[in-house]
Amino acid sequence: MSISVVARNADPAPAVIENLEQALRETIVETAKAQTYHWNVTGMAFGPLHALFQEIYEDHFAAQDTLAKLIKALGSHADGRLIKAIEASKISECDGAISSTQMIENLARDQRLLSSTLRQIASISEEQEDIVTADFAIERAAAHDNFAWMLAAHLEG
Ligand SMILES: [Fe+2]
């Protein structure tokens, strides 16, 4: 995903900027977590989970870039420091030394949290008539909802 044309909002709501920065931090932490799980997953579902976790971290790596560009386009600063991302993210790091079921549960919870952050951005942006930011946030919320659904489906049955 990329933003080829960004209609800069002359006066973006502080809450939009704050939530975009929070979404960037959480996406950074979730990228590393999904890749750690991709490396360490074991068990009978190794193949599909190894692939799904890769799909998540590749999606999130690209999303980091888009989030950072949007933050810059709205006149703020894109802080990429890992220590700041970890300190402020509601999503925690994980060393990957856990079962595949715990990995799925953790990522599904994280994806719902990311979706909630993006939905807040969409809601506030729509109120501000910043349809470019709202459109991006809706698309990202849908991507996180889709990952949450795919992950949770492994725990059914
Ligand atoms: Fe790999």
pLDDT score of 8: 52
Query: How many residues are given for the chain?
Result: 157
pLDDT tens track for 69-97: 999 999 999 999 999 999 999 999 999 99
- Distance in Å, CA 51 to ligand 1 centroid: 8
- Distance in Å, CA 150 to ligand 1 centroid: 19
The torsion defined by the Cα of 152, 105, 66 and 50, in degrees rounded to 10, comes to -80
Instruction: Tell me which residue has tokens 């595949």.
Output: 100
- Distance in Å, CA 62 to ligand 1 centroid: 16
Cβ contacts of 19 within 8 Å, gap of 6 or more? 117, 120, 121, 124
CATH 3.40.120.10 assigned to 14-153? no
Whether the pTM exceeds 0.85: the reply is yes
- Distance in Å, CA 105 to ligand 1 centroid: 21
User: Is 63 in contact with 27 (CB distance < 8 Å)?
Assistant: yes
Instruction: Tell me which residue has tokens 């925690």.
Output: 92
User: Is 33 in contact with 93 (CB distance < 8 Å)?
Assistant: yes
- Distance in Å, CA 86 to ligand 1 centroid: 23
Cβ contacts of 132 within 8 Å, gap of 6 or more? 3, 6, 7, 9
pLDDT score of 4: 43
